[in-house]
């Protein structure tokens, strides 16, 4: 084909990316008012306040999972009504067929029970894994604040974190979901690895010049990203093999995660009880109570739209949302800070744009047919199938002659390669 760059058509499911960004910004706005200013915090509490914030975020994320119980029962009620309507439409007038199928129906019922039992075990298994890795994702940052209580956990805008997240998400899809990689997927994988190495080098250099950035935090945040990526890959497996709904997955994840949160809370009550003193700055008073409720609800919708993206597409589409997150952070920083944009920031933005293009290439949103890179993509394979179907069902001499000419060109190229060999 003559096209060198092909842009795939958008579909309705792309609206979930827009809804995710909207809810992400709303949640970011609520959280900005949810935390007490440093000037209002007692000096004696400042050693544990960062740990209190991370622990509070763990609690809020866990509580947001239980919001899924409302849409879960609504969906269950609607499905039950639908099943009743279908059953009411089935007539039992053919008694002979019913008598002849009595023995086979018993076998069918037994098989159905076995399949249902297998499906239930898969749902529990994958939900447990999702809960464990989601807990470890949060716990990695809590552990950092336990080990380094006086260090500020922060990163640069457009830092190396997102490219690493993109790279590792692709790796998880390859090994956990068994997604087959073609030329363009390998190209995108190593492109993001290269961008990660460049940005990591820049972050290390800048980290030595900025006292607010602790490079040890990068170790823990990259560890949390590993758990984060594994979580969504196993969540996709729950959709594929457990046929579980998003709401049931969130609800079961919340139940399993709640057990781990209780265990962590008991350990902290024994070993580090003073961490709970910092909660008085965030949960006392009607203002903070309303903000916490709003935070829980918006967190639920943020997670919901992320899982919808995974369900409708795949975990490899998550990096698109993560890159737009960084854009939102950058815009907010430019609004509230008067600092000029330095050349290094432009370099970071340029690398993120390249990374974005790499993600689009990986998911075949953009197909590049240069140096035969796109020859084995789904787009060109579908085109090949369509042309073969057109040939097999067509009586048009022009179409048949065009296909035969194409076949003769291939045969002549093969014979030339054999002769030269």
Closest CA to 376 of 189, 188, 183, 185: 183
pLDDT greater than 70 at residue 157: yes
SS3 211: coil
pLDDT greater than 50 at residue 411: no
| Lowest mean pLDDT, pick from 7-16, 97-106, 144-153, 364-373 | 97-106
Query: Where exactly are the structural domains of the chain?
Result: 5-86+104-379
Token pair, residue 366, equals 């953009």
Average per-residue pLDDT for the chain: 78
Angle between helices 286-312 and 15-34 (to 10 degrees): 160
Q: Which residues contact 110 (CB under 8 A, 6 or more apart)?
A: none
What is the arithmetic mean of pLDDT over 304-315? 93
pLDDT of residue 29: 87
Closest CA to 48 of 223, 217, 263, 279: 279
Q: In whole angstroms, what is the distance from residue 128 CA to residue 257 CA?
A: 8
Percent helix, percent strand, percent coil in the chain, to nearest 5: 80, 0, 20
CB distance 246 to 162 below 8 Å: no
Q: In whole angstroms, what is the distance from residue 382 CA to residue 384 CA?
A: 5
pLDDT of residue 225: 94
What is the arithmetic mean of pLDDT over 207-219? 75
Q: In whole angstroms, what is the distance from residue 146 CA to residue 284 CA?
A: 24
Strand spans (E) along 32-191:
none
Q: Which residues contact 26 (CB under 8 A, 6 or more apart)?
A: 298
For CA atoms 60, 304, 377, 173, the dihedral sign is positive
Q: In whole angstroms, what is the distance from residue 268 CA to residue 270 CA?
A: 5
Percent of the chain at pLDDT > 90 equals 37
Q: In whole angstroms, what is the distance from residue 232 CA to residue 311 CA?
A: 10
CB distance 20 to 302 below 8 Å: yes
User: What DSSP designation does 46 have?
Assistant: T
Confidence of residue 374 (pLDDT cuts 50, 70, 90): low
Token pair, residue 64, equals 């947001």
Confidence of residue 218 (pLDDT cuts 50, 70, 90): confident
pLDDT greater than 60 at residue 62: yes
What residue has token string 């698109």?
A: 320
pLDDT greater than 50 at residue 105: no
pLDDT in tens, 313-371: 989 999 999 898 888 888 888 777 766 777 888 999 999 999 999 898 888 887 766 65
Token pair, residue 384, equals 């090949």
User: Between 104 and 86, whose confidence is greater?
Assistant: 86
pLDDT of residue 300: 95
Torsion-angle region of residue 372: left (phi > 0), alpha (psi -120 to 50) or beta? left
Cβ count near 65 (within 10 Å): 24
Closest CA to 120 of 260, 250, 241: 241
pLDDT in tens, 238-277: 998 878 899 999 999 999 999 999 999 999 999 888 888 7
pLDDT greater than 60 at residue 92: no
pLDDT greater than 50 at residue 212: yes
Tallying the residues shown for the chain, one arrives at 421
User: What DSSP designation does 280 have?
Assistant: G
pLDDT in tens, 64-90: 999 999 999 998 888 888 777 776 666
pLDDT of residue 362: 85
User: Between 306 and 399, whose confidence is greater?
Assistant: 306
């Amino acid at each position: 084909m003559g096209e060198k760059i092909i842009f795939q058509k958008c579909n309705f499911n792309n609206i979930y990316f827009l809804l995710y960004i909207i809810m992400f910004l709303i949640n970011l706005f609520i959280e900005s008012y949810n935390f007490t200013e440093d000037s209002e915090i007692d000096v004696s509490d400042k050693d544990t306040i960062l740990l209190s914030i991370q622990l509070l975020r763990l609690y809020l994320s866990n509580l947001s999972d239980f919001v899924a119980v409302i849409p879960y029962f609504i969906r269950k009620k609607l499905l039950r009504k639908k099943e009743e309507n279908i059953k009411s439409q089935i007539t039992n007038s053919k008694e002979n067929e019913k008598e002849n199928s009595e023995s086979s129906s018993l076998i069918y019922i037994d098989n159905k029970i076995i399949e249902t039992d297998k499906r239930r075990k898969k749902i529990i298994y994958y939900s447990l894994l999702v809960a464990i890795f989601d807990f470890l994702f949060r716990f990695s940052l809590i552990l950092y604040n336990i080990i380094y209580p006086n260090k500020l956990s922060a990163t640069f805008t457009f830092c190396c974190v997102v490219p690493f997240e993109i790279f590792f998400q692709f790796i998880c899809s390859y090994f956990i979901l068994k997604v087959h990689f073609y030329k363009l997927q390998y190209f995108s994988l190593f492109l993001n690895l290269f961008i990660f190495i460049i940005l990591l080098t820049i972050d290390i250099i800048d980290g030595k010049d900025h006292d607010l950035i602790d490079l040890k935090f990068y170790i823990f945040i990259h560890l949390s990203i590993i758990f984060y990526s594994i979580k969504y890959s196993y969540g996709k497996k729950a959709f594929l093999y457990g046929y579980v709904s998003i709401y049931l997955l969130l609800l079961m994840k919340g139940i399993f995660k709640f057990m781990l949160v209780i265990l962590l809370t008991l350990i902290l009550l024994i070993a580090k009880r003073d961490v709970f003193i910092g909660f008085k700055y965030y949960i006392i008073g009607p203002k903070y109570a309303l903000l916490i409720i709003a935070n829980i609800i918006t967190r639920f919708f943020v997670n919901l739209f992320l899982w919808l993206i995974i369900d409708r597409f795949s975990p490899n589409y998550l990096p698109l949302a993560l890159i737009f997150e960084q854009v939102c952070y950058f815009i907010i920083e430019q609004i509230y800070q008067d600092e000029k944009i330095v050349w290094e920031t432009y370099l970071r933005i340029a690398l993120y744009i390249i990374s974005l293009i790499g993600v689009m290439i990986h998911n075949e949103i953009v197909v590049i047919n240069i140096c035969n890179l796109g020859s084995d993509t789904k787009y060109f394979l579908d085109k090949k199938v369509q042309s073969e179907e057109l040939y097999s069902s067509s009586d048009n001499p022009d179409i048949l002659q065009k296909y035969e000419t194409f076949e003769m060109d291939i045969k002549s190229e093969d014979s030339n390669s054999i002769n030269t060999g």
